[in-house]
Amino acid sequence: MAFTTAVLVAFDQLNVGLLMALAVVTGLVATIDGPATALLGNDLVPRKDVPSAIALGSVVHSVGRLAGTAAAGVAIGVFGIAAAYVTNGLSFLFVAAVIPFLRFAPPEPAEPDTAASDRTASVDQAAEESAAARMTAREGLSFFLRRPRLVALAVITGLGAVFGRNYGLTLSVLVTGALHGSAADFGTVSTVLAVGGIAGAVLAGRMQNPSVRLVGTLTAAGTLLQIAAGFSPSLFLLVLPMALVESVSDTAGTTVLQTDPPPYMRGRVLGVWRSASTGWGLVGPPLLGLLMEFAGARGALVVGGLLVAGAVGAGTLLRTRLLTTWEVGLLAPCTSVSSQAALGQAA
């Protein structure tokens, strides 16, 4: 996609229709690539190091966002837009060249006194993996919905993504609008966001078993900072902690997402998650744009922050009642032993 775009730009053939078509194909590729890449990370390190590996991935992402933006600016200024897309395409080739040299982490040895039970568990898991291989997309979604932790994580993340973390929209409008800043000022804000993301990912690497409650707490804390930014005459004191909290929350959420499901179901779960994230990625910008149209950039930060913080607070207060209702609703259709076992593990 990057090389194709570079050719179209170089020959002045790129238009909005072709750009949208390229975006659709890129989205299809990401739908397959995203879950596969996430699952690959789980196979490269021991189970206890998965949170640290995810945090390292967040560090690399944040560094790439910081260095990549600067490099793209230089490439566009010196060589033109097509050169930036060529460089982007070359970066994917470097990543692909590494794949044949990857080595999976060795399986962790079982304790002697648990060897027999582990053999029984491995037989059960083989049967479950065989059943999972025949599972339809609808049944995969049903599995996801039977796990309250994952549903709660999706609700928190979705609300945060739509109303709490769309800083590319809200902060750009706020800096260049109400704060009367320039494009260079927004570039500075973006750099600080990236630095905060790196620091947050490094801190998140120390987490071993993050919970959905922790993700909700961090999300609420980030939205409170967002509300403060909506009232603040300057952003520079708040952008760094906003980015730091966002990064820790994202890393914790990703860790829960990749460690909560059993290994043979992670691909299905990540596929459902990718579909959900695509949905709120499509809905978020128009909703936020509409909110900014009526309330302005400051109002969007404040109202969005209140919506997210209120939802997290209500979910925390009603947690026990919601879980009880969830279990009662799920027990009726759960007739197989495997379904009830999945429900018990979810609870």
Q: Are residues 192 and 306 in the same domain?
A: yes
Residues 73 and 172 in one domain: no
pLDDT of residue 183: 61
pLDDT per residue as tens digits for the range 209-267: 788 888 899 988 988 888 888 888 776 677 788 888 888 888 888 888 877 888 778 77
Last residue of a domain, one of 76, 101, 126: 101
Residue 175 shares a structural domain with residue 312: yes
Q: Of 74, 101, 128, which residue sits at a domain end?
A: 101
Decide if 66 is inside a domain. yes
Q: What are phi and psi of 68, to 5 degrees?
A: -65, -40
Proportion of the chain in helix, strand, coil states, percent, rounded to 5: 85, 0, 15
Q: How far apart are CA 4 and CA 305, in angstroms?
A: 40
Q: Is position 333 within any domain?
A: no
The rounded Cα 344 to chain-centroid distance in angstroms is: 27
Give me the DSSP letters along 199-268: HHHHHHTT-SS--HHHHHHHHHHHHHHHHHHHH-S-STTTHHHHHHHHHHHHHHHHHHHHHSS-GGGHHH
Q: Any idea what DSSP says for residue 112?
A: G
The verdict on 153 and 263 lying in the same domain is: yes
Region label for 330, one of left (φ > 0), alpha (ψ between -120 and 50) or beta (otherwise) = alpha
Last residue of a domain, one of 101, 135, 153: 101
Number of domains in the chain: 2
Does one domain contain both 72 and 182? no
Q: Are residues 303 and 156 in the same domain?
A: yes
For residue 127, the Cα-to-chain-centroid distance in whole angstroms is 31
User: Looking up tokens 């053999």, which residue turns up?
Assistant: 119
| Alpha carbons within 13 A on the beta-carbon side of 345 | 12
Residues 69 and 160 grouped into a single domain = no
137 domain residue, yes or no: no
- Round to whole Å and give the CA distance between 157 and 163: 10
Q: Is residue 41 part of a domain?
A: yes
Give the count of beta carbons closer than 10 Å to the beta carbon of residue 344.
10
In terms of domains, do 33 and 175 share one? no
CATH code of 181's domain: 1.20.1250.20
Contact 78, 16 (CB under 8 A): no
Buried b (16+ CB within 10 A) or exposed e, 67-96: ebeeebeebeeeeeebbbbbbbeeeeeeee
Determine, yes or no, domain membership for 113: no
Using CA atoms of 193, 199, 202, 207 in order, give the dihedral in degrees to the nearest 10.
-90
Q: Are residues 150 and 19 in the same domain?
A: no
Asked if 301 and 167 touch (Cβ cutoff 8 Å), the reply is no
Domain that holds residue 302: 145-328+338-342
Q: Residue 56 is encoded by which pair of tokens? A: 């390292």
Q: Map residue 313 onto helix, strand or coil.
A: helix
For 30-36, the CB contacts below 8 A with 24+ separation are: 30/274, 31/271, 31/274, 31/275, 31/278, 34/270, 34/274, 35/267, 35/270, 35/271, 35/273, 35/274, 36/267
Q: What are phi and psi of 290, to 5 degrees?
A: -65, -40
The predicted pLDDT at position 346 comes to 45
> Are the CB atoms for 291 and 164 separated by under 8 Å?
no
**Does residue 201 lie in a domain region?**
yes
Same domain assignment for residues 177 and 77: no
Longest distance between any two alpha carbons in the chain, whole Å: 69
Can you give the pLDDT of all 347 residues of the chain as single tens digits? 999 999 999 998 889 899 889 988 888 887 778 777 777 877 888 877 877 787 787 778 777 766 776 677 777 778 888 888 898 888 889 888 998 898 888 876 655 544 445 455 455 555 555 555 566 667 778 888 888 888 889 999 888 888 877 666 667 666 666 666 666 666 677 777 777 777 887 787 777 778 888 889 998 898 888 888 888 877 667 778 888 888 888 888 888 887 788 877 877 888 788 888 878 877 888 888 888 888 887 888 888 889 988 988 888 887 766 556 655 555 444 444 444 444 444 44
217 lies in a domain?
yes
Query: How confident is the model at residue 4, as a pLDDT?
Result: 93
Among candidate residues 175, 122, 141, the one with its CA nearest the CA of residue 273: 141
Shared domain for 163 and 303, answered yes or no, is: yes
- Asked if the structure places residue 133 within a domain, the reply is no
